[in-house]
Structure 1
Amino acid sequence: MVERVRAVGAFMRGVLGADRYEHYLEHHRAHGCGEPMSRREFWRDYHRWQDDNPQGRCC
C-alpha cells in the first residue's frame, strides 16, 4: 500500500512538473561544472525562461 502511494506521488510530481529541479540536479551532476543553482534560483530562472519563451499553454 505504501509503495502505491509513493508511486502515485511520484507520478503526480512528474505530471505537475514539481520534479524538474531533481532532474536538473541529475543532469548537472552528469554534465555540469561549478555549483548548481539553489532550488529557489532554479525556479526563478525557469519561470523567467517561460516568460521569455512563451509556448502553447493555458495561461
Structure 2
Amino acid sequence: MTGPTASAGHRSASARLLRWIRWYLREISGAADYDRHCLRHLREHPDRPVPSRRAYESWRTGRREEHPQTRCC
C-alpha cells in the first residue's frame, strides 16, 4: 500500500500497540486494580467516599498478610 491509506494504517497499528502496552503496564503495576476497586466501591457504597490510593494499598497489603495461601511462598 502506498499513499495516505498506508500512513493511516500504520498510525492505527501504532495506536493499537501503544494502547496494548499501556493496558499491560497498568495490569502488572496494579494501577488497574485500584481503578476497578474504585468503580466497585462507587457502585456498592455510593454514599461513602472513595478510599485514597494509599488507603487501598494499605488494605490490600493487610489482606495479603491475613490470607497467605494466596501467595506461593
Answer whether TM exceeds 0.5 for this pair. yes
1:42 corresponds to which letter in structure 2? Y
Partners of 1:42 and 1:25 in 2: CA distance: 9
Deviates more, 1:6-15 or 1:35-44: 6-15
Higher relative contact order (CA 8 A, sep 6+): 1
- Larger Rg over CA atoms: 2
Q: Which runs of 4+ in 1 moved over 4 A?
A: none
2-structure distance, mates of 1:51, 1:36:
23
Count the aligned residue pairs: 59
Structure number with higher helix proportion: 2
The residue number in structure 2 matching 1:7 is 20
| CA–CA distance in structure 2, aligned partners of residues 24 and 44 of structure 1 | 13
Query: Who is 1:39 aligned against?
Result: 53
Distance in structure 2 (CA, Å) of the matches to 1:36 and 1:24: 9
CA distance in 2, matches of 1:50, 1:56: 7
User: Over residues 7-48 of structure 1, what are the superposed CA-to-partner deviations in whole Å (9 max), with x where a residue is unaligned?
Assistant: 222134224533111001111121113111100000011101
**TM-score after normalising by structure 2:** 0.64
